[in-house]
Amino acid sequence: MASSTSDNPITALLFGADKPGIVANVASWIFARGGNIRHADQHRDDEASVFFQRVVWMPAEGNDAEAEGQAFAQYARQELGMSCNISLGNECQRVGIMVSKIDHCFHDIALRFRSGEFPGQAVVVVSNHEELADAAASYGLPFHHVPVTKANKAEAEAEQIRIMQEAGVELVVMARYMQVLSQSFLANIGCPVINIHHSFLPAFAGGRPYHQAYERGVKLIGATAHFATADLDEGPIIAQDVARVTHRNGPKDLIRRGKDLEKAVFAQAIRWQLEHRILVYNNKTVVFD
């Protein structure tokens, strides 16, 4: 069945070697097929001579949005030499949440999903502890307890992948999930994974960053949302924010203030990913307005 065009815009994310005429060719292709561009943004990496673009358009009335998107992706790759990812406006991505015991980011995003703030749907919660089972149930989310130890990590991650894939998950978010995901997990999960780290990376990576910050006497603390990689806290950064602190603030003060940053930064990164605004390139991200 052809997709309705009235509520189904097409979004394309493109990147590749910069050359004259990319913007004009993209606009001309859409215009020639009767489409109407709703939003377009672009960026050029001057150091690498790489061009990035995000364009959103409505296909002509009666045209199948999915077919139009596939046709454009083929054109972009074959004629423009650009990498291209396509998404449709009526897609509702299914999101899996990983969490341990610390609950503030979990509650925040669970409420945002329940209120319809995110253009996606939380469908499952996986945890290495049992403490948040009742909280997940209160949001109507299936909860799976998968204990993780050094001895069973491979088997535990295989079970986590099975649960996520059976739920049809298209994005995994680590809501203060206090385990490092292995290269095997990240290679086999089949979708992006976003983590929230409680420091302004690359400062204070690893454990107890607020205590590290206090011991260093910093005047700013921060939070960082990034794509997870097998290297601890080294993945492409999506969003960050900071707050000022003083010598009067102890570790408990830093943790309290940092939690607010974590929630806001994590939510922003998830929203941008669900709205198809992020391109990853050379361990960095381009995030379109």
Structural domain boundaries, residue 190: 93-287
Q: State yes or no: pLDDT of 204 exceeds 80.
A: no
CA dist 172 and 186 (Å) reads 10
CA dist 272 and 157 (Å) reads 27
What's the confidence (pLDDT) of residue 2? 42
Where among 38, 72, 88 does a domain terminate? Answer: 88
Q: Do 80 and 106 share a domain, yes or no?
A: no
34: DSSP letter = T
Please report whether residue 4 resides in a domain.
Answer: no
Tell me the pLDDT band of 231, cut-offs 50, 70 and 90. confident
| φ, ψ dihedrals at 266, nearest 5° | -60, -45
Q: Do 153 and 271 share a domain, yes or no?
A: yes
Please report whether residue 219 resides in a domain.
Answer: yes
What's the confidence (pLDDT) of residue 48? 92
Tell me the pLDDT band of 1, cut-offs 50, 70 and 90. very low
Tell me the pLDDT band of 172, cut-offs 50, 70 and 90. very high
Query: What total of structural domains would you count in the chain?
Result: 2
What's the confidence (pLDDT) of residue 214? 81
Q: Among 9-18, 66-75, 198-207, which is the least confidently predicted range?
A: 198-207
Tell me the pLDDT band of 66, cut-offs 50, 70 and 90. very high
Please, what is the Cα angle at 151 between 149 and 152, to 5 degrees? 70
Please report whether residue 192 resides in a domain.
Answer: yes
Tell me the pLDDT band of 219, cut-offs 50, 70 and 90. confident
Q: Do 110 and 23 share a domain, yes or no?
A: no
DSSP string covering 193-215 = EEEEESS-TTTT-SS-HHHHHHH
Of residues 233, 241, 253, 260, which has the active-site annotation? 233
DSSP reduced 3-state for 43 = strand
pTM, two decimals, is 0.91
Tens of pLDDT, residue by residue over 35-56, are 999 999 999 999 999 999 999 9
Please report whether residue 156 resides in a domain.
Answer: yes
Q: Do 97 and 80 share a domain, yes or no?
A: no
Please report whether residue 199 resides in a domain.
Answer: yes
Tell me the pLDDT band of 5, cut-offs 50, 70 and 90. very low
In the block, which residue shows the tokens 């815009």? 9
Q: Do 220 and 112 share a domain, yes or no?
A: yes
Query: What would the two tokens of residue 230 be?
Result: 């097998």
Q: Is 103 a catalytic residue?
A: no
Q: Do 30 and 151 share a domain, yes or no?
A: no
Q: Do 162 and 275 share a domain, yes or no?
A: yes
| φ, ψ dihedrals at 104, nearest 5° | -65, -40
Instruction: Tell me the average pLDDT of the chain.
Output: 93
Q: Do 17 and 98 share a domain, yes or no?
A: no
